Amino acid sequence: MTSHKHIIIIGGGFCGLSAAYTLQEEARAKDLPLSCTLLEADARLGGKILTERVNDFIIEGGPDAFVSQKPWGIDLCRHLGLQDHLTGTNPRERASYLLHRGRLHDLPEGMVLLVPTRLGTLIKSPLFTPWGKIRMGLDLLLPRRRATASEESIADFVGRRLGREAVEKLAEPLLAGIHAGDAGRLSLQATFPQFAELEARYRSLILGVLDRKRQRESQSGEASWSLFVTLREGLGELVEVLEKVLREKATIRTGARVRAVRRGLHCAAPPYIVEIEDGATYRADALLLATPAYETAGLLKRILPVAAPHLRTIPYVTTATVSLAYRRADCPHPLNGYGFVVPRKEPCRILASTWTSTKFPHRAPQDHVLLRCFVGGTGREDLALQEEPELVRLAREELKAVLGIAAEPVLARAYRWERANPQYEVGHLTRLEAIDRALEKSPGLFLAGAAYRGVGIPDCIRQGAEAARKAIAFLAGSAGGAAY
């Protein structure tokens, strides 16, 4: 890279922030003549990461933690000097519950997402019928699926390995619930490929999970993080620190909605031109789009019409979160766990509830509790589209029915996320292959984001960083194509 190059990132969610940070760090470490402009349509950065601090309450509007087993989240916190701000979940309260026939039941001890590893606790559980327990145990005997390249829905896979009860009571609320989606439509290979890998390697999911558990226990020297970790002051702290670091070198514009993207007319000029709705124009040697797939499709319809239809067919759903704070004395339930999930068959209007002040005790004053409810998702988007008073009322009614809380909350907040949850439905991986092929026709163009290969914070960090490094390699002349 002998001459100065300029990269534009469209989208200031966490994936775009990760890409900008990687570009800035690589340019500094390698003394590259490289500059970056990040354009975000919203008035703030961070996307779904939104932390509100009210008195001594720390309220998360979007995600409240990230998975520690995927290293990119913890690694970024360390690079930013936030390692001492990391905290895990409350080790004294590990239980999680499932709503069954209107009552909360413990998920059997030793359950790894949906795979039972302690058959004794499964046998004692009132959640499953005798046949349901036997059917789950048959996983130890069933053959593996014949090798095939086709994707399989979560419901089909779990039903085949563990039976229908496992689909209704575990896969739907635990696996599909993470995506606020439908287990019968979501692709297992795109959402939870580790389960397909377990079957391919071990034949039995139970045997595979047990062996992986033994391997982890035998490894020494690893940090003993809980499965989920967060920052003491909320995940918004990560956005705040990233923004401060980026503004030292990068150009960041919020409230800058991109109107159009087009190619330059002259070969010697930077190949991409980005037009903002306020009339400003930017030129870029490489372009990285970290916007929702449907917005990306609109921006690329002129310069890459082959990719646009594939991007447009990635579905999204609307969800909402409602946080309610109560005086501890007004809550009759002991809240001795992290919360509960709700199977679709239950006549309950929320997807799940996190007992935030139990999961992370520093999120509320000692004499109060903080609870969070999740609303909406596939087939229930109308519930999430209600205004804040209706969302609060809905959450209060459901918590009263399940936990017996009748008191007025001392604090209530609702956050609506319209078309913010991408759905990796069956055929998703084939769709990504078509997008990859289309991108090869437009060197210097890169995509990253939750719509593609992972929705969690660590996956977004990884995708943003990978796209940034590919952009640098392209500008240095060592990469001729574009991918994400």
CATH code at 409? 3.90.660.20
Residue 72, in any domain of the structure: no
Q: What is the CATH number of the domain that holds 18?
A: 3.50.50.60
Work out the percent of the chain whose per-residue pLDDT is above 90. Answer: 84
Q: Residue range 125-138: average pLDDT?
A: 94
pLDDT at residue 17 is higher than 60: yes
Confidence of residue 481 (pLDDT cuts 50, 70, 90): very low
Domain end (from 422, 444, 466): 422
pTM: 0.93
Q: Do both 325 and 408 map to the same domain?
A: yes
pLDDT one-digit tens code per residue, 282-331: 999 999 999 999 999 999 999 999 999 999 999 999 999 999 999 999 99
Instruction: Estimate to the nearest angstrom the gap between the alpha carbon of 194 and the chain centroid.
Output: 16
pLDDT at residue 119 is higher than 90: no
Confidence of residue 217 (pLDDT cuts 50, 70, 90): confident
Q: Residue range 413-431: average pLDDT?
A: 97
pLDDT at residue 267 is higher than 70: no
Which two three-digit tokens encode residue 419?
A: 């078309």
Residue 67, in any domain of the structure: no
Q: Do both 260 and 188 map to the same domain?
A: no
What gap in Å lies between CA 26 and CA 49, rounded to an integer?
A: 25
Residue 88, in any domain of the structure: no
Residue 307, in any domain of the structure: yes
Tell me which residue of 371, 395, 369 sits closest to 383, measured CA to CA.
395
pLDDT of residue 269: 57
Q: Residue range 157-177: average pLDDT?
A: 95
pLDDT of residue 210: 92
Output the average pLDDT for the chain: 93
- Bridge partners of 104? 99
Residue 69, in any domain of the structure: no
pLDDT of residue 376: 97
Q: Residue range 471-475: average pLDDT?
A: 94
Q: Do both 430 and 396 map to the same domain?
A: no
Residue 50, in any domain of the structure: no
Distances (CA, A) of 280 to 39, 253, 283, 328: 11, 11, 10, 53
Residue 288, in any domain of the structure: yes
pLDDT at residue 266 is higher than 80: no
Residue bearing tokens 């004053």: 365
pLDDT of residue 482: 44
Residue 382: exposure state from Cβ atoms within 10 A (0-12, 13-18, ≥19): exposed
pLDDT at residue 442 is higher than 50: yes
Q: Which residue has the higher pLDDT, 24 or 483?
A: 24
Q: Do both 162 and 246 map to the same domain?
A: no
Q: Do both 245 and 173 map to the same domain?
A: no
Q: What is the CATH number of the domain that holds 122?
A: 1.10.3110.10
Q: Do both 243 and 294 map to the same domain?
A: yes
Residue 206, in any domain of the structure: yes
Choose the weakest-confidence range: 36-40, 212-216, 480-484: 480-484
pLDDT of residue 28: 92
pLDDT of residue 111: 80
Confidence of residue 483 (pLDDT cuts 50, 70, 90): very low
Q: Do both 413 and 451 map to the same domain?
A: no
Q: Do both 387 and 431 map to the same domain?
A: no
| 237 neighbors 85 (Cβ within 8 angstroms) | yes
Q: Which residue has the higher pLDDT, 482 or 154?
A: 154
pLDDT of residue 22: 97
Q: Do both 389 and 430 map to the same domain?
A: no
Confidence of residue 219 (pLDDT cuts 50, 70, 90): low
Confidence of residue 221 (pLDDT cuts 50, 70, 90): very low
One-letter identity of residue 212:
R
pLDDT at residue 1 is higher than 70: no
Q: Which residue has the higher pLDDT, 113 or 160?
A: 160
Q: Do both 437 and 308 map to the same domain?
A: yes
Tell me which residue of 133, 221, 163, 175 sits closest to 377, measured CA to CA.
175
pLDDT at residue 265 is higher than 90: no
pLDDT at residue 165 is higher than 80: yes
Handedness of CA 360, 103, 159, 381 (dihedral sign): negative
Confidence of residue 116 (pLDDT cuts 50, 70, 90): confident
pLDDT of residue 148: 73
pLDDT of residue 468: 97
Bridging pattern class, strands 97-100 and 86-88? unpaired
What gap in Å lies between CA 299 and CA 15, rounded to an integer?
A: 18
Which two three-digit tokens encode residue 398?
A: 């459901």
Q: Do both 208 and 329 map to the same domain?
A: no
Range of the domain at 166: 108-218
pLDDT at residue 45 is higher than 70: yes
Distances (CA, A) of 234 to 52, 65, 77, 310, 472: 8, 8, 13, 36, 32
Range list of β-strands (E), 29-179: 34-40, 51-54, 57-60, 66-67, 86-88, 97-100, 103-106, 111-112, 115-116
pLDDT at residue 94 is higher than 90: no
Q: Which residues of 396-426 are buried (b: 16+ CB within 10 A; e: fewer)?
A: bebbeebbebeeebbbbbbbbbeebbbbbbb
Total domains, the chain: 3
Q: Do both 467 and 397 map to the same domain?
A: no
| 423 neighbors 190 (Cβ within 8 angstroms) | no
Q: Residue range 93-105: average pLDDT?
A: 91
pLDDT of residue 93: 81
pLDDT of residue 261: 95
